[in-house]
Amino acid sequence: MVGAAVSQLGGLDYAFNNAGINNLGANEYDDAVWARSLAVNLTGVMLCMREESEVMLARGGGAIVNTASINGLVGNGAQPGYCATKHGVVGLTRHGALRWAKAGIRVNAVCPGVIETPMTAPLTADPEMKKVLDSMTPMGRMGRADEIAAAAVWLCSDAASFVTGHAMVIDGGATAV
């Protein structure tokens, strides 16, 4: 993926590692479910960072943004795999920030709360569940994907030139309580 981007675009200045799965209702202690969560949510981010950083090091800098979650900052009693892997993304983000700061690579994470995406669509199809999800934030609504994208764009921009190692919470106030 990184090689294709470099080949088509001539380089790589910014990267947004935005992958994740959420195994709602699954037993995340099941070996196969746990392994898939780890592979997609954490190992996938590490592999992307490894390849992206090599290109950025050769170019003299860049910015990487990883998608974690508020579940990477607080506990979640229902989803051990999701919670553990998103905590791992925050830790991996901080590691990258420390490792590559002097080389001019900034590494940050966005930590969304409940966001309207295809991942939450099965839940929001039920009007009662949609009300529950909306009520999970002090703002009284779920977030939108464009709100997360705007934060990622800002973290990649020169406006965030002194920001690295940050886990930016975008959750409508859910973690403020």
Determine phi and psi for 106, rounding to 5 degrees.
-95, 135
Looking at domain 2-112+154-171, which of 3.40.50.300, 3.40.50.720, 3.20.20.150, 3.20.20.370 is its CATH number? 3.40.50.720
Residue 152: what pLDDT? 98
Q: Where are the domains of the chain?
A: 2-112+154-171
pLDDT in tens, 9-42: 999 999 999 988 887 777 888 899 999 999 999 9
Of these residues, 16, 82, 107, 169, which one is catalytic?
82
DSSP-assigned states of every residue in 58-122 = HHT-EEEEEE--GGGTS--TT-HHHHHHHHHHHHHHHHHHHHHGGGTEEEEEEEE-SEESTTTHH
Nearest to 164 by CA among 74, 61, 69, 85: 61
Residue 146: what pLDDT? 97
Burial 19-47 (b: 16+ CB within 10 A, else e): ebbbbeebebeeeebbebbeeebbebbbe
**What is the residue-level pLDDT of the chain in tens, covering all 177 positions?**
999 999 999 999 999 999 888 877 778 888 999 999 999 999 999 999 999 999 999 999 999 999 999 999 998 888 899 999 999 999 999 999 999 999 999 999 999 999 999 888 888 899 999 999 999 999 999 999 999 999 999 999 999 999 999 999 999 999 998
Distances (CA, A) of 32 to 6, 28, 38, 61: 34, 8, 10, 38
Residue 24: what pLDDT? 73
Give the pairing of strands 143-144 and 167-170: unpaired
Determine phi and psi for 64, rounding to 5 degrees.
-120, 135
Distances (CA, A) of 175 to 52, 75, 111, 136, 170: 31, 11, 11, 10, 9
Catalytic residue check, 29: no
